[in-house]
Amino acid sequence: MPRHYHRPIRGMLIALGISAVNAFAQTSAEPASAAAVTPVAAEQPERQQQAIDALSSMGSYLRSLSRFDVTTTSATDAVLDNGQTVAFLHETDLKVERPNRLRAEITGSRSPKGMIYDGRTFTIFNTTEGYYSRNPAPATIDLLVRELSTDYNIDTPLADLFYWGNGKVDDVTLTSALFIGLERVDTRWCNHYAYQQKGADWELWIQSGTRQLPCRMAIVDTTQDARPRHVVTYHWKLNPEIPASTFTFRPAANAKAIELKPASRTPYEESQ
pLDDT digits (tens, 9 = 90+) for 46-87: 899 999 999 999 988 888 889 999 999 999 999 999 999 999
Q: Is the pLDDT of residue 214 over 90?
A: yes
d(CA 189, CA 132): 41
d(CA 61, CA 210): 9
Q: Is the pLDDT of residue 167 over 80?
A: no
What are the counts of helices (DSSP H) followed by strands (DSSP E) for the chain? Answer: 5, 13
Closest CA to 99 of 57, 144, 160, 40: 144
Helix (H) or strand (E) holding 229: strand 229-238
Half-sphere exposure of 235 (CA within 13 A, CB side): 11
Going by pLDDT thresholds of 50, 70 and 90, the confidence category of residue 161 is confident
d(CA 18, CA 40): 25
For the ranges 36-45, 94-103, 172-181, which has the lowest average pLDDT? 36-45
What is the average pLDDT across 92-107? 96
The 10s digit of each residue's pLDDT in 216-250 is: 999 999 999 999 999 999 999 999 999 999 999 99
d(CA 213, CA 190): 9
Going by pLDDT thresholds of 50, 70 and 90, the confidence category of residue 98 is very high
**Residue 269 neighbours by CB under 8 Å, 6+ apart:** none
Going by pLDDT thresholds of 50, 70 and 90, the confidence category of residue 172 is confident
What pTM was computed for the model? 0.80
* CB 231, CB 218: distance < 8 Å: yes
DSSP for 102-165?
EEEEEEESS--EEEEE-SSEEEEEETTTTEEEEEE--SSHHHHHHHHHHHH--PPTTTHHHHS-
pLDDT value of position 265: 61
pLDDT value of position 212: 95
* CB 44, CB 234: distance < 8 Å: no
d(CA 78, CA 272): 18
